Structure 1
């Protein structure tokens, strides 16, 4: 059996010669561009989701860390806190959830564009 590699350039439907989407093709599929109000609303929804993901950091961890930073001996202040593990877990959870949200949004945007 002989394997052959197809070197011919493949054409993708809906793209012009420069690789840009053709508006007429998208309209024939029923795809319409979003109105500016819809885009603003989508952006506000994503910002609200990001803020919700950061709430544990903002409510629990940030006041503790700011208080420690303003103290002359921040290590001593943090070492004597009995709830330091909870503060660190809240900060880490917010960080990981925010990074996951950013990665998912980036993947969706690149999948939609390509």
Structure 2
């Protein structure tokens, strides 16, 4: 039985932090991450709201009219229960509630794992964790949604102030109060890098980490000396009849400083010449 161990996020090395341990916007920019434009963010939210309202249509069509009749005292409680559409209204209300809950869970799960909702997928926006530049996580998205919902305690004004707070982001990333509270950042994957593309993200991180190593020494000049008496900085290797390159070295008295294959070639030639001479002497004697 094989056990697959998962590495805790706290044990992972986090890249792109400044000296204070905060995410560095310059590092994210170097990777190619671009903040999502406000226009497309608004469009994405609008699309998600429209999808939510579409799911509510059966409830408003079949259940709400009967409830309004009871609220306006047009029918009594007995009349409400005895109404021929009561069972259909209750059934539709229950189905709508289940579909709404399923939609919220699916939207939250996809945004937590892949940074995308229906609106974000259409507009080319992704949600990421601003520290790790990866998936934000399901529970961070749940908290973010609850904060947005709580802002509606003061209708219109609350959500407006919260979303407008993105304009005053000191990091210039367009993050509002609910984004800062949950460490979420919305980015543009149409014009910038998609951090959910694992291969491209790894390459981008490696490229940012690469530093050009300085040369250990200056290369010799290949220019011809102005005076023949001046030794050039670079002398090309000499060649022999066998086509093997060798390096010429100065000879001392009674010593051959040739090395490698060149020395073997010369040594073999000398040995053959000596053997021929010796053989001639023996034959002649």
Please state which band the TM-score falls in when normalised by the shorter chain: 0.7 to 0.9
What is the CA–CA distance in structure 2 between the aligned matches of 1:56 and 1:110, rounded to whole Å? 29
The structure in which a higher percent of residues are helix is 1
What is the CA–CA distance in structure 2 between the aligned matches of 1:14 and 1:94, rounded to whole Å? 45
What is the CA–CA distance in structure 2 between the aligned matches of 1:72 and 1:33, rounded to whole Å? 54
Aligned to 1:49: 51
Greater Cα radius of gyration, structure 1 or 2: 2
What is the CA–CA distance in structure 2 between the aligned matches of 1:95 and 1:56, rounded to whole Å? 10
Contact kept, 8 Å, 2:52 with 2:100, in 1: the verdict is yes
What is the CA–CA distance in structure 2 between the aligned matches of 1:29 and 1:97, rounded to whole Å? 39
- Aligned: 1:85 with 2:80: no
What is the CA–CA distance in structure 1 between the aligned matches of 2:89 and 2:37, rounded to whole Å? 42
Aligned to 1:65: 67
The counterpart of 1:34, out of the listed 24, 33, 36, is 36
Q: CA deviation at 1:96?
A: 1.3
Contact kept, 8 Å, 1:71 with 1:77, in 2: the verdict is no
The structure in which a higher percent of residues are strand is 2
Structure 1: 5+ residue stretches without partners: 1-5
Aligned to 2:104: 102
> Please, what TM-score do these two structures have when normalized by structure 1?
0.72
The counterpart of 2:78, out of the listed 76, 93, 113, is 76
What is the CA–CA distance in structure 1 between the aligned matches of 2:73 and 2:25, rounded to whole Å? 60
Aligned to 2:13: 11
Deviations 1:32-60 (A, max 9, x none): 21100000000100110111011111111
Deviations 1:5-34 (A, max 9, x none): x9993213455564x544444445543211
Structure 2: 5+ residue stretches without partners: 1-6, 114-127, 130-135, 137-285
CA RMSD in angstroms comes to 2.9
Q: CA deviation at 1:77?
A: 1.6
Q: CA deviation at 1:64?
A: 0.6
Q: 1:50 to 1:25 in 2, by over 3 A?
A: same
Contact kept, 8 Å, 2:69 with 2:75, in 1: the verdict is no
Contact kept, 8 Å, 1:54 with 1:94, in 2: the verdict is yes
